């Protein structure tokens, strides 16, 4: 009966990946009759999406951005994800130390990072600081049952029953990932990809966002995997990667 009720009210999940223009939001929904829809939008910020989640209009939002940041060393979740994706664990970058969030200068951020955890901040992590800061300011620990840190390659590893060895930046890697998404999402997604996905942003970012939407659906149905040591950061956020 409980499962029938869950289906009857419909569901809505989103996958969110950062992009140059802001955020790619991949939305996958089903109405009370089970009719599914898919859409991809580019949002300049996450404020409206967070409001939708809190209002109950979105069941789960899976976001490829670190939540739960510390000043005393690396996160367990990042190391566990690297082991999961070995030999391509380098696709998981180390989350920055919390003390670097306010920095807008790379050298200053590196100095803060060295003082806190003994090593400099990667340029990749520094470039993401504005987005990490935006999300960190928008949510608190009470949001994290529905607004969840995830990772595209971890999601794809679940779809493929193992880590993908081909880079997403190559033709073969992209084709493999698209095939996995079409299998998971069905012909509706294939049509969307071919006809009305946004063209103003990187197709790689869209592929990643949709892998996160699939992860969000697994999370909403209780079939996801979770990497965490359950540490809570000073702002009350848990450090975890769920997919």
Task: Check whether 5 has a pLDDT greater than 70.
Answer: no
Task: Check whether 112 has a pLDDT greater than 60.
Answer: yes
Q: Average of pLDDT values for 237-241?
A: 98
Count of other CB atoms within 10 angstroms of residue 199: 7
Task: Tell me the C-alpha distance between 238 and 1, whole Å.
Answer: 33
Provide the residue ranges of all domains of the chain, joining segments of one domain with +. Answer: 2-67+145-221
Q: Average of pLDDT values for 206-220?
A: 98
Residue that the structure tokens 């998981």 belong to: 92
* pLDDT score recorded for residue 8: 58
* Residue 125 contacts residue 117 (beta carbons within 8 Å): no
Task: Check whether 1 has a pLDDT greater than 90.
Answer: no
Task: Tell me the C-alpha distance between 126 and 44, whole Å.
Answer: 19
| Model pLDDT for residues 76-94, shown as the tens digit of each residue | 999 999 999 999 988 898 9
Q: Tokens representing 42?
A: 């580019």
Task: Tell me the C-alpha distance between 152 and 213, whole Å.
Answer: 9
**Residue 44 Cα distances to 12, 25, 49, 180, 195, angstroms:** 21, 10, 11, 28, 23
Alpha helix positions (H), the chain: 2-8, 47-55, 76-85, 106-117, 123-138, 152-160, 171-185, 187-195, 203-221
**Which of these ranges, 5-14, 29-38, 149-158, has the smallest mean pLDDT?**
5-14
* pLDDT score recorded for residue 2: 42
The DSSP string of 18-62 is: EETTEEEEEEEEE-TT--EEEEEEEES-SHHHHHHHHHTS-SEEE
| Model pLDDT for residues 22-80, shown as the tens digit of each residue | 999 999 999 999 999 999 999 999 999 999 999 999 999 999 999 999 999 899 999 99
| CATH 1.10.1740 matches 2-67+145-221 | no
Q: What is the pTM of this model?
A: 0.94
């Amino acid at each position: 009966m409980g499962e029938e009720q869950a289906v009857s009210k419909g569901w809505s999940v989103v996958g969110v990946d950062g992009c140059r223009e802001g955020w790619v939001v991949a939305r996958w929904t089903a109405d009370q009759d089970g009719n599914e829809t898919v859409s991809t939008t580019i949002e300049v910020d996450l404020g409206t999406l967070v409001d939708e989640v809190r209002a109950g209009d979105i069941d789960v939002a899976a976001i490829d951005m670190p939540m739960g940041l510390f000043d005393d060393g690396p996160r367990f979740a990042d190391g566990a994800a690297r082991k999961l994706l070995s030999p391509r664990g380098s696709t998981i970058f180390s989350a920055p130390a919390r003390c670097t969030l306010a920095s807008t200068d790379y050298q200053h951020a590196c100095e803060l990072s060295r003082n806190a955890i003994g090593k400099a901040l990667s340029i990749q992590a520094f470039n993401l600081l504005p987005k990490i800061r935006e999300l960190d300011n928008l949510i608190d620990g009470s949001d994290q049952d529905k607004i969840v840190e995830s990772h595209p390659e971890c999601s794809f590893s679940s779809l493929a029953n193992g880590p993908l060895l081909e880079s997403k930046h190559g033709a073969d890697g992209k084709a493999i990932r698209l095939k996995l998404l079409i299998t998971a999402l069905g012909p509706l997604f294939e049509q969307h990809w071919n006809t009305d996905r946004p063209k103003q942003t990187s197709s790689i970012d869209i592929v990643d966002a949709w892998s996160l939407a699939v992860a969000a659906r697994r999370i909403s149905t209780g079939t996801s995997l979770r990497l965490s040591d359950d540490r809570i950061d000073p702002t009350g956020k848990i450090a975890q990667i769920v997919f």
